[in-house]
Copies of this chain bind each other. A is one copy, B any other.
Amino acid sequence: MPKRRADAVRNRRLALDAAMALLAEPGTPLTVEAIATRAGLGAATVVRTFGGKDALLDAAVSRLLEPVVRRARDLRAVLPPYQALRTFLGELIAFQAAHHAVNHELGGLHLPATTALRAELVEAVTDMLDGARREGAVRDDLDPEVVTVLISETALAVARALPGAQGLGEAYLTVLLDGLRPRVSDGGTG
């Protein structure tokens, strides 16, 4: 049980805040050096505190993702499934657009905490889809698991392209949700 000095605790938070800030800014290098400078620390301190750059990013991304997961659960608890889905997707796209570095630079990294949170997000969306399907608001002639993947991947792509195309988010939600409507021959029970 090692003693933890107060300045170490403070610096850990500074590094985390700096990393989160850089993740929200496009075109920034996202190097240890950049994070350390932003935090007013030395690069060595930043790395040592977290045990490596990857662990730092894992922690930072997790902190960014936590409120999103919470929001998904809240919406699912408060709104009917279809409305929850529509609302959440809109917010998710906005969040990803504001933090696209989160998804852009982190492709080939193994970040345990982040991966776990993503799984929770997927679970929440899956639940919303299930509910919407039972309501008859979403077609049931497609593999639910595939639809979940479809939404996750396309929503991310749309978010990435959002800054360059006005109205893309709205068009995406419109096309996606209309495309997910039951076909006339479907057996919606709502």
Contacts and interface: CB of A to CB of B under 8 A. Distances in A.
A158 B153 contact: yes
B172 A150 contact: yes
Interface stretch (A3-11, A81-89, A159-167): A159-167
A146 B158 contact: no
Contact of A156 (B142, B157, B167, B176): B157
B142 A168 contact: no
Given A179-B176, A179-B179, A143 B158 contact: no
> Chain A: interface secondary structure?
helix
A179 to B, nearest CB: 3
A121 to B, nearest CB: 16
Given A143-B167, A157-B157, A167-B143, A150 B178 contact: no
Contacts of A167: 143, 146
Interface in A94-150: 104, 107, 142-143, 145-147, 149-150
A161 B175 CA distance: 20
Interface of A: 104, 107, 142-143, 145-147, 149-150, 153-154, 156-158, 160-161, 164-168, 171-172, 174-181, 183
